[in-house]
Amino acid sequence: MTAGAEPLVDLLIVGGGLSGLTLLHRLRQLCPGRSLMLVDQPQRLAAAERDPRLLALARHSQQLLQQWQLWPQLAAAVSPISSIEVSDQGHAGRLLLSADDQPPFGCVVEAAALGRALQTALLPVRAAAIEKIERLTDRVRLTLDDGGVVACRLLVLADGGSQRWDQVLGQQRSVKPYANQALIALVDSNRPHRGRAFERFTTAGPLALLPVGERQFSLVWCGTENECLTRLQAEPEHFNQLLQQAAGYRAGELRLLAERNVYPLALMQVERLMSHRCLWLGNAAHTLHPVAGQGFNLALRDIDCLARLLAASTTDDWGQYSLLADYERQREGDIAATVRFTDGLLALFANDHLPLVAGRNLALAALNLLPAGQQLITRRGMGLGNH
């Protein structure tokens, strides 16, 4: 096929979620002379400003957003995480990680606040659905549902877990469904949390409480499909009782505040981060279990790496194989280590074999006395494991 007369941009992003918008924002800062575009359906673009999620940002992620001049717009919607308590329900082991003598481990921020900050940047966004993607030798051509056609040197897939274009673009991916689902909700306590987050491993699955405001928590509560359905449909008073039994009282007396939602969980990874003139980034490339809150933090490191590589490149053609291969080489180690950390943590605490239970609780107790061991854990949790 030969190239047509359609408009040609240096880079086009598919996906108007937080990852796609953040990449576009950063590239505009670093590469003001380049032609950029983001394409997504109108309703998906509007959803970024109404995203109900609360994001756990590692310290390194916070530093990136500060460098990218997004932090001032987020400051009012941020709750610092000053300490993290890890426990195993029904067992004595407990690990307390404290940031008293240093900046917080990270923070909890409203996803909608980040969406609004990105939308106010007047990014070059086109509200349309993609009907067709064709890869040519020197470009990728997209046909849109508004009748338009646009081409790019490099196509970046940042469309979440969508697999719509996998076959067209020659992508393969592995999907490992977890037995658990996740219930997400906002709860409050009868006492101030003082910035402490709680990670509790129960027989039904992990439960996380992330500090919000002065007394509220963002709840991520994992369980089987039936357990999550029961929690979803329970009357608020009964839900509060179930939650208290699972969480214990170290976070205080907990009470449901807002709507509950349930999501399926799976570990998804693409076979390759790149193919001819295409890159996969963020949740489009890797979807993790929320047990350690690493998903969006990993996406921000993807964005940072890609933006720096493109900004430093001397070529006019960002779709060159050598550039894309360089990105893949730089990212595969961090991605693999984060997947091992998240998946391994889940496997360790999901096993009720008695010797393993005793061993992991002894390890939790011992880590309270070993600052070096705590540092290894917290560096990975803060997104500093490869920095």
Please say if the pLDDT value at position 173 is more than 80.
yes
pLDDT value of residue 180: 86
Mean pLDDT of the chain: 85
pLDDT value of residue 229: 96
Phi and psi at 356, nearest 5°, equal -70, -40
pLDDT category at 380 given cuts 50, 70, 90 is: very low
Q: Which CATH superfamily is domain 76-111+178-265+363-369 in?
A: D-Amino Acid Oxidase, subunit A, domain 2 (3.30.9.10)
Write down the number of H helices and E strands in the chain: 11, 20
Please say if the pLDDT value at position 354 is more than 80.
no
DSSP three-state, residue 232 = helix
The topology under which CATH files domain 8-56+114-174+266-345 is FAD/NAD(P)-binding domain (3.50.50)
Cα dist from 63 to 21, 67, 80, whole Å: 18, 6, 13
pLDDT value of residue 161: 78
DSSP three-state, residue 24 = helix
Encode 110-144: b = buried (16+ Cβ within 10 Å), e = exposed: bbbbbbbbbbeeebebbbbebeebebeeebbbbbb
Q: Which of 91-100, 169-178, 291-300 has the highest mean pLDDT?
A: 169-178
Q: Which of 44-48, 50-54, 274-278, 339-343 has the highest mean pLDDT?
A: 274-278
Window from 53-67, 301-315, 355-369 with minimum mean pLDDT: 355-369
| Higher-pLDDT residue of 352, 320 | 320
Please say if the pLDDT value at position 359 is more than 90.
no
pLDDT value of residue 102: 63
Please say if the pLDDT value at position 387 is more than 70.
no
The three-point CA angle 161-167-173 to 5° equals 50
pLDDT value of residue 372: 43
Structure tokens at 338: 């984060």
Q: Residue 151 and residue 157: Cα distance in Å, rounded?
A: 14
Phi and psi at 350, nearest 5°, equal -85, -10
- Tens of pLDDT along 217-268? 999 999 999 999 999 999 999 999 999 999 999 999 999 998 899 999 999 9
pLDDT value of residue 83: 87
CA 128 to chain CA mean position, Å: 25
Q: Residue 83 and residue 23: Cα distance in Å, rounded?
A: 30
Please say if the pLDDT value at position 370 is more than 60.
no
Mean pLDDT across the stretch 332-336? 95
Q: Residue 234 and residue 34: Cα distance in Å, rounded?
A: 53
Domain range annotation of the chain = 8-56+114-174+266-345, 76-111+178-265+363-369
> Residue 215: which of 239, 194, 185 has the closest Cα?
194
pLDDT value of residue 377: 45
Percent above pLDDT 70 for the chain: 84
Q: Pairing state of beta strands 173-189 and 216-223?
A: antiparallel
pLDDT value of residue 233: 96
| Higher-pLDDT residue of 60, 9 | 9
Mean pLDDT across the stretch 143-167? 94
Phi and psi at 312, nearest 5°, equal -85, -10
Please say if the pLDDT value at position 365 is more than 50.
no
Task: Specify the pTM.
Answer: 0.87
pLDDT value of residue 170: 93
Q: Residue 257 and residue 260: Cα distance in Å, rounded?
A: 9
- Tens of pLDDT along 183-216? 999 999 999 999 999 988 877 778 989 999 999 9
Q: Residue 89 and residue 205: Cα distance in Å, rounded?
A: 10
- Tens of pLDDT along 106-142? 899 989 999 989 887 777 899 999 999 999 999 999 9
Please say if the pLDDT value at position 356 is more than 50.
no
